[in-house]
Structure 1
Amino acid sequence: MILDESRDIFIVSESWLTEVNQKCITSEIRSSLGGYNFFSCPRTGRKGGGVAAFALGALDVKVKVTKPYKSFECLDLTVKTGSIVLRLVVMYRPPKLCTVSVFFEEFSELLETLIPAEGRLFICGDVNFHVDDVENRDAQRLLDLIHSLGLVQHMQVATHQKGHTLDLVITRAFDPYPMNIAVDNTLPSDHSLIKFSVDVTRPAYKRTVREVRDVKSIDADALSSYFSDNLFPSVGGMSSDEAAVSYNSHLETMLDTLAPARTKIIINDNGYRMLTLPRSYSPWWMK
């Protein structure tokens, strides 16, 4: 799905990655999603939880070191594209990990560090509060906190199969708002997939010059003949180093003869995926 719709960033709240399984799963992810970098903050000590993000390889993404919080999990990223800096914070609050008072204390502390930070701020994730419920005191307290700090919560529709809004997209009030916000309920999950776009220019296309050889076209009989006639010249009187140099030289000559090098120019956006048409907006997904 990420590749089909050419999404630039895809974030996951509750990835279920742990310190034990992350290495194996991350390897599989990278092999199947060529052209994307993967960032993860796995849960420690027990299953579930964890937050993660995929980002297009052409984006300059750095992980910010944050203090460990008791009441929620957090992945703090800076994303640079051209002259634009985005601050993307992915979070997940387990509903029964800590008391609500601890969460508000820690979340307030996090917000106070993020508000003056460089770049356009995006805080995305599952907070496990029904912010659509005006009778829910904790949810209204969260919205009051967000508003009091000059932030805006953009999700106004249900993001959970039971009809509540648990997954949030938060920005500063004076930053450009996310565009084309929509929810997608086609995935096999009790939470909706949230899609939105950010008005930034995508990274410039890369023009890569590579030297390639068509080794698959080498004729087997010609290769065998070359080995017999040329590969093993007399090495009498040569030192081991001189013999190795001679061997390598003959291998290079063989390649130049049977599979000459040629220059290939590749124009792409991430080193892997060929471009079709340029896009003005950078679409994001959040799960």
Structure 2
Amino acid sequence: MSTAAYQGSAAVAKASGMAFVLNEAIRRKLEEMDRRQQEEKRRTEEKRREGEREKQRKEKSRRDQKRERLGLGFMVVIGVAFLAFLVGNSRIKKVSHYDTSHYDTSHYETNQYETNHHETSQYETCQYETNHHETNHPPSGVIRLGLINARSINNKRCLIPEVITENNLSVLCITETWTRNDTADKVLRECLPPDFGCYNVSRNRKGGGAAVLFSKVFCSEQKEFGFITTFEYVATVLHHRQWDKPILLINVYRPPGYKKFKDFLSEFQMLLNEVQGSNLVVTGDFNIRVDRVEDRYAKLLEELLQRNDLDQYVNSKTHQKGGTLDLVISRNVEISDVHVSNELISDHYPVFFNAKPVSKNTGKKIKDDRDEDEQGKRFKKCEE
């Protein structure tokens, strides 16, 4: 072999060897990179799984803590309920019917109403014993009324019938019932003693509301006025066998504030125009400090009452922080024995009073029995 051929073969062999080494180095580098990528993926996956496990541990810990709090809260509720039962049991009179023996119903034998016991079953568990010797019994033909700002009757379903029976009320006017349209009827039924009915107005949101609860010795009907926007009201016509004319009772709740006060006065005047000639009693929380004689809003209300021959009878503070806000107003109705109780129902004091319409036969004897028969017929027609 010639020297040139040998040198060429050597060069080729050397080049092949170098290519092999280079390829081998590249292969090892690629394998190392792949190995590192796999290791990185593995660590990332482990971190993800560890994060999920930690999240599950925290979630389990939160659930356990929540169950512990619920369990503790349940034990507290049970304890409080048991204590309330022990305390209340000393006051609750366990009877299956409502004692109405203190009502003068001798004139209404034809106007008795059957009690719907399934609607008042909850009331029976809340029946309170009354000290009848302390109860005021109004004279014949005179009714006893009450006015309270409840600031929610939802938590006073046992207290409301207690107020009625302990004060021998024939009518209870309530403001700020805080009932909603979808639950008002149910809540109010649970507040009624047997042989009582009610009318109410509610909101679709918290606050406000008004109701009139009345004994069924009355024949009653509800009136509505479509133009009222600045205050809430319940208007009830009450017929009584011993009255020549019924009483129109309007229970009002005017929300606080004076932004729309002129509109309120205008609508209130329109309402009074609609009921001219009625034996009228207006009660309610007007949120006007009528005890402040120099208050401009109190003056405006007083001027309106004077223009309409209306008298206002509450002269004591009716709010815990002071102020006469809850009013009793009347025309052609004798109001007497007005009393502001010192027992708080909410942040307002209850007001109690007697009422009797001014009769055209006051001080006179009915000469003709036919007049009495006609009066009975009118009452009978109202019942039907």
Q: Same fold (TM over 0.5)?
A: yes
* 2:165 pairs with 1:6: no
- In structure 1, the gaps of 5 or more residues are 201-287
What RMSD, in angstroms, separates the aligned Cα atoms of the two structures? 1.7
Counterpart of 1:107 in structure 2 is 268
Q: Of 178, 181, 193, which aligns to 1:19?
A: 181
Counterpart of 2:248 in structure 1 is 87
- In structure 2, the gaps of 5 or more residues are 1-162, 358-384
Letter in 2 for 1:190: D
* 2:198 pairs with 1:41: no
- Percent identity of equivalent pairs: 30
CA contact (8 A) 2:176 2:210 kept: yes
Listed as ranges, the matches of 1:57-206 within 5 Å are 57-84=216-243, 85-96=246-257, 99-117=260-278, 120-172=279-331, 175-199=332-356
Letter in 1 for 2:268: F
Alignment length (residue pairs) = 193
Runs of 4+ in 1 over 6 A off after TM superposition: none
Q: Which has the higher contact order (CA 8 A, sep 6+)?
A: 1
Offset, 1:98: 5.4
Letter in 1 for 2:348: H
Counterpart of 2:215 in structure 1 is 56
Determine the C-alpha separation between the residues in 1 that align with 2:356 and 2:304.
27
Mark the CA change 1:112 to 1:196 in structure 2 (over 3 Å): closer, same or farther.
same
Counterpart of 1:244 in structure 2 is none
Determine the C-alpha separation between the residues in 2 that align with 1:78 and 1:23.
20
Determine the C-alpha separation between the residues in 1 that align with 2:184 and 2:323.
31
Determine the C-alpha separation between the residues in 2 that align with 1:8 and 1:27.
16
Determine the C-alpha separation between the residues in 2 that align with 1:80 and 1:158.
31
In the TM superposition, what whole-angstrom CA distance separates every residue of 1:121-145 from its partner, at most 9, and x where no partner exists? Answer: 1000011000111221011111111
CA contact (8 A) 2:318 2:324 kept: yes
CA contact (8 A) 1:70 1:98 kept: no
Mark the CA change 1:170 to 1:59 in structure 2 (over 3 Å): closer, same or farther.
same
Determine the C-alpha separation between the residues in 1 that align with 2:344 and 2:195.
23
Offset, 1:26: 2.6
Letter in 2 for 1:41: V
Determine the C-alpha separation between the residues in 1 that align with 2:345 and 2:329.
25
Which structure features the higher share of strand residues? 1
CA contact (8 A) 2:225 2:271 kept: no
Which structure features the higher share of helix residues? 2
Mark the CA change 1:97 to 1:68 in structure 2 (over 3 Å): closer, same or farther.
farther
In the TM superposition, what whole-angstrom CA distance separates every residue of 1:174-206 from its partner, at most 9, and x where no partner exists? Answer: x24211000012133111111011237xxxxxx
Determine the C-alpha separation between the residues in 2 that align with 1:187 and 1:131.
20
Determine the C-alpha separation between the residues in 1 that align with 2:224 and 2:333.
26
Letter in 2 for 1:9: V
Letter in 2 for 1:89: I
Counterpart of 1:221 in structure 2 is none
Letter in 2 for 1:139: A
CA contact (8 A) 1:71 1:97 kept: no
Determine the C-alpha separation between the residues in 2 that align with 1:188 and 1:82.
32
Listed as ranges, the matches of 1:231-270 within 5 Å are none
Offset, 1:8: 0.6
Mark the CA change 1:23 to 1:142 in structure 2 (over 3 Å): closer, same or farther.
same
Counterpart of 1:207 in structure 2 is none
Determine the C-alpha separation between the residues in 1 that align with 2:282 and 2:305.
11
Determine the C-alpha separation between the residues in 1 that align with 2:268 and 2:333.
23
TM-score (norm 2): 0.48
Offset, 1:83: 4.8
Mark the CA change 1:76 to 1:46 in structure 2 (over 3 Å): closer, same or farther.
same
Structure (1 or 2) with the larger CA radius of gyration: 2
